[in-house]
Structure 1
């Protein structure tokens, strides 16, 4: 699997712990939600409650979505997760071969939460691993630009477990801080 060198190692995880499965699930689902947000697509809800084979779920408003947009949304969860585990890594782990370090974190994210996302790739992408690689860098740059709101959304998910799409987008817009009373249990 070819992976791309991260140009920025995002370090701020707020109150989240990248070794905590629930927190990583929140970051993963926040990544999907940010992708929908960037694409101007509404979501009904975002949840980190386990449901069937999913650890969490971002439920979009049913609408036609082209394969390119769908690929970006699917990649965003594992990429956010990989960014978080990389951020939590010891600085000396970043080492000299950033491409190899990023590849390790991306592969870990795919194995621990992104397999279902990759399996859901549109059939127009015959090589799903190559499709992940193709979109990972683009999505990583988008998530880097919205990292602070992404972390705020993940913190709100940890606090509340499920948010409506309107609540999630309000957090991303900065209109509803992650520590707002509405988002407390």
Structure 2
């Protein structure tokens, strides 16, 4: 799996040989970042300088793509320490160690936030109903800036009911995957 664009273009993101996570495909990542840098977001320069939170991060393919394209910092959240150790090792290798932090926890039970994020990636295991649980935690525990964008990858057959303060900006289907772009507006 390679970084698609930016200063780390073509660097190979390491993955574990035997693991149960499902990394986002290059096609999906390319579509996601194309959406986040055009259309509704063309004038906002959303990625450049972003504070990124990557839930269910695995080894961080979405985070490293964001760093490569100009994000300021990323926080990877995953329940598997082995995934996050591999991500930290890669960050060290490409000179991004100062711009990355990790949190080993279940993304559906996030603690109170120590900082706020304006861009969130969420790629949970499919068909487990983790998206809504994670959104509730993000809002309740203060993880989001007002106007934060949340990009969710899920199975195309899954659906979610949006909560107050979260609106749908865009929905696209790519094969068996669905991408939701959500926006948080604080009341």
Please classify the TM superposition score into its range, dividing by the shorter chain length.
Answer: under 0.3
Q: What is the TM-score normalised by the length of structure 1? A: 0.27
Q: Which has the higher helix share?
A: 1
Q: What is the TM-score normalised by the length of structure 2? A: 0.27
Q: Which has the higher strand share?
A: 2
